[in-house]
């Protein structure tokens, strides 16, 4: 079977576009100095990173799901090597009509039980996917 040049080009373009479902998203968070400054995640590797209080924390994407018709909502979890005000942090990032929102909390563990300890705020963010 022979492909015509146009059909071959279309086939190659569609084939090249298939991996586009895995992507890295980077968000600049607008807010105060105690909350996150930058937050990013990769849907293929499930890795995440947040910069807050001058420290970059490595974490993971723990949940991804559709958020209306605006895009995906993600939960990102981070465990700092040296806990600041929390033993674990979790952020939810979701699209809105005017951009994105980032909400976060900090947890503490006592006696093997996880407790909500602190709010990490609710901020507007500007996000870009690569």
Kindly indicate the confidence band of residue 123, based on its pLDDT and cuts at 50, 70 and 90. very high
Lowest mean pLDDT among 2-16, 37-51, 100-114: 2-16
Q: Is residue 78 part of a domain?
A: yes
| Total domains in the fold of the chain | 1
Q: Is residue 56 part of a domain?
A: yes
Residue 6: the pLDDT is 40
> Is this structure's pTM higher than 0.75?
yes
Q: Is residue 71 part of a domain?
A: yes
Q: Is residue 16 part of a domain?
A: no
**Where is mean pLDDT largest: 1-15, 72-86, 108-122?**
108-122
Q: What percent of the chain has pLDDT over 90?
A: 68
Residue bearing tokens 């939960």: 75
CA-closest candidate to residue 116, choices 125, 107, 124: 107
Of 98 and 12, the structure prediction assigns the larger pLDDT to 98
Structure tokens that stand for 68 in this block: 């209306």
Lowest mean pLDDT among 13-27, 65-79, 84-98, 108-122: 13-27
Q: Is residue 86 part of a domain?
A: yes
Q: Is residue 7 part of a domain?
A: no
Residue 77 Cα distances to 5, 44, 88, angstroms: 48, 16, 7
Beta-bridge partner residues of 17: none
Q: Is residue 88 part of a domain?
A: yes
Structural domain boundaries enclosing 94: 21-129
Q: Is residue 51 part of a domain?
A: yes
Q: Measure the CA–CA gap between 12 and 114, rounded to whole angstroms.
A: 50
Looking at the predicted structure, is the pLDDT value of residue 15 above 60? no
Looking at the predicted structure, is the pLDDT value of residue 35 above 90? no
């Amino acid at each position: 079977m022979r492909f015509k040049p146009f059909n071959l080009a279309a086939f190659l373009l569609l084939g090249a576009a298939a991996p586009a479902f895995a992507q890295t998203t980077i968000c600049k968070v607008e807010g105060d100095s105690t909350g996150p400054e930058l937050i990013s995640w990769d849907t293929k590797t499930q890795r995440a990173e947040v910069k807050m209080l001058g420290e970059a924390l490595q974490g993971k994407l723990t949940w991804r799901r559709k958020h209306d018709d605006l895009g995906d909502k993600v939960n990102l979890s981070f465990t700092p090597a040296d806990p600041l005000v929390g033993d674990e942090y979790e952020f939810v990032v979701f699209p809105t009509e005017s951009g994105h929102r980032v909400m976060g909390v900090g947890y503490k563990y006592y006696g093997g039980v996880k407790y909500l300890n602190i709010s990490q705020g609710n901020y507007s963010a500007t996000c870009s996917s690569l």
